[in-house]
Amino acid sequence: MAGLGPRSAIERAEIGNSRPTVVRACALLDHFGTLQAALEAQGVAVQSAESEYVAQNLVTLAEDKATEVLKLVDAPEQDEDVQRVFHNLGETNTPVSL
């Protein structure tokens, strides 16, 4: 898939012998149209598409600070009107309990 940029990725996985190939394609939002055209040119039937925030700079915090941040992140996640919550907190060294 030429022209999609350095952050584009295509993943293919065969699921059994009788099922079609599943393709997961990722690209920067600026390249969405190019990605869509490339998939259509190859005859790939798109079943769903969505945009997602991917943090560029993950932050690692001490356990006590990570717990505090995760409590803040959890509050809007509990609201039924909130569909998705994104953050840039990286993995912590120890399990964090809320």
Per-residue pLDDT of the chain (98 residues; tens, 9 = 90+): 445 554 555 555 554 555 566 777 888 888 888 888 888 888 888 888 888 888 888 888 888 888 898 899 889 989 999 888 888 888 765 555 55
The confidence score (pLDDT) of residue 46 equals: 82
Q: By the 8 A CB rule, do 67 and 98 touch? A: yes
> Could you tell me the CA-to-CA distances from 9 to 1, 27, 35, 48 in Å, in that order?
9, 7, 10, 16
Rounded Cα gap, residues 35 and 1, in angstroms: 8
The confidence score (pLDDT) of residue 52 equals: 82
Can you give the pTM of this predicted structure? Answer: 0.50
The confidence score (pLDDT) of residue 83 equals: 87
